[in-house]
């Protein structure tokens, strides 16, 4: 299975010019990378700029709405994303859960709407620091995965990637230990196997996100047995991001 590296630019950069410069360096840096799939998720506003519309380049969105069209001021639908050449969409990111009222139920509706358009959703799950300290990590992950996948057929679920992103590790520099990430990804796979069977669960990619950098990236692929990484802060620094991609590529070529 190819590793997936997702660059989540979040609400950055501030200008289209900066976005063009950043994407140009990323594209230069990842030339020749074969066994690793790189997806860049810039703010929606930059999607139409030529730098993001190159053939072969994989564009992802950071969010989508759960309806395909209609009177929903300010929302962007999965169909609209698809029509702009977008192939992936992040759903249920913890920042949206914390600041924008994203719930498990909303994540479920968004997944269904994205799958209707054959987009590849990246479902984010992860416990907060408090939940980890209380020992409820397992229950939180189970609940998030089960609620998000409710009513989704096996055929459609095959398109989903699950990102384990412990909230305490996001943007803090306090990356999750390889062993903890491995335990979480095992648990997530077990929950998916309970829903759809082991064969399908083994095909679903599970990626890790939270303070990934050039130094720790390959370790997650090797030791945590995840099939990719979701990179926030480090994806805004082209040198660091390319270092991440190359280290994963090297790890996969071993
Ligand atoms: P980070 O963000 O790499 O800056 O920790 C990861 C994410 O939020 O997806």
Q: Which portions of the chain are predicted below pLDDT 70?
A: 55-56
Would you name the residues annotated as active-site residues? Answer: 93, 165
Q: What is the pLDDT of residues 96-119, one digit of tens each?
A: 999 999 999 999 999 999 999 999
Nearest atom in ligand 1 to the alpha carbon of residue 212 is 3
Q: Given ligand 1 and candidates 99, 162, 165, 167, which is best to mutate, with the most ligand atoms within 8 Å of its CB? A: 165
Alpha carbon nearest to ligand 1 atom 6, residue: 232
Nearest atom in ligand 1 to the alpha carbon of residue 233 is 4
Ligand 1: which residues within 6 Å by Cβ? 8, 165, 170-171, 209-212, 230-234
Which tokens is 147 given? Answer: 């609620």
By DSSP bridging, strand 228-231 and strand 205-209 are parallel
Residue 65 alpha carbon to ligand 1 centre in Å: 22
Nearest atom in ligand 1 to the alpha carbon of residue 94 is 8
Alpha carbon nearest to ligand 1 atom 1, residue: 232
Q: Given ligand 1 and candidates 230, 240, 241, 243, which is best to mutate, with the most ligand atoms within 8 Å of its CB? A: 230
Residue 77 alpha carbon to ligand 1 centre in Å: 24
pLDDT for 77: 98
Residue 209 alpha carbon to ligand 1 centre in Å: 6
Alpha carbon nearest to ligand 1 atom 2, residue: 232
Q: What is the pLDDT of residues 11-35, one digit of tens each?
A: 999 999 999 999 999 999 998 888 8
pLDDT for 57: 74
Residue 233 alpha carbon to ligand 1 centre in Å: 6
Nearest atom in ligand 1 to the alpha carbon of residue 209 is 6
- Contacts of 162 by beta carbon, 8 Å cutoff, 6+ apart: 122, 123, 125, 145, 188, 192, 204, 205, 206, 207
| 55-61, long-range: CB < 8 A, 24+ apart | 57/27, 58/87, 58/88, 59/84, 59/85, 59/86, 59/87, 59/88, 60/6, 60/86, 60/87, 60/88, 60/89, 60/90, 60/122, 61/86, 61/88, 61/89, 61/90
What predicted TM-score, i.e. pTM, was given to this entire model? Answer: 0.97
pLDDT for 56: 67
């Amino acid at each position: 299975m190819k590793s997936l590296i997702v660059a989540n630019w979040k609400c950055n950069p501030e200008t289209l010019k900066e976005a063009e410069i950043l994407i140009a360096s990323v594209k230069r840096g990842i030339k020749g990378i074969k066994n690793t799939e790189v997806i860049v998720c810039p703010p929606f506003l930059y999607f139409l700029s030529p730098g993001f519309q190159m053939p072969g380049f994989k564009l992802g969105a950071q969010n989508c709405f759960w309806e395909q069209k209609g009177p929903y001021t300010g929302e962007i639908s999965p169909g609209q994303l698809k029509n702009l050449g977008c192939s992936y969409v992040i759903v249920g990111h913890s920042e949206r859960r914390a600041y924008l009222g994203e719930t498990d139920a909303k994540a479920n509706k968004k997944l269904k709407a994205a799958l209707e358009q054959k987009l590849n959703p990246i479902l984010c799950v992860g416990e907060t620091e408090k939940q980890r300290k209380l020992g409820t990590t397992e229950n939180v992950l189970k609940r998030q995965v089960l609620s998000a996948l409710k009513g989704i057929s096996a055929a459609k679920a095959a398109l989903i990637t699950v990102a384990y992103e412990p909230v305490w590790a996001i943007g803090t520099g306090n990356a999750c230990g390889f062993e903890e990430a491995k335990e979480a990804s095992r648990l997530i796979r077990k929950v998916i196997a309970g829903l759809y069977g082991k064969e399908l669960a083994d095909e679903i990619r599970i990626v890790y996100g939270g303070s990934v950098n050039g130094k720790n990236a390959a370790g997650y692929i090797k030791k945590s047995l995840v099939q990719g990484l979701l990179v926030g802060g480090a994806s805004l620094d082209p040198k660091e991001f390319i270092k991440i991609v190359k280290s994963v590529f090297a790890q996969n070529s071993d």
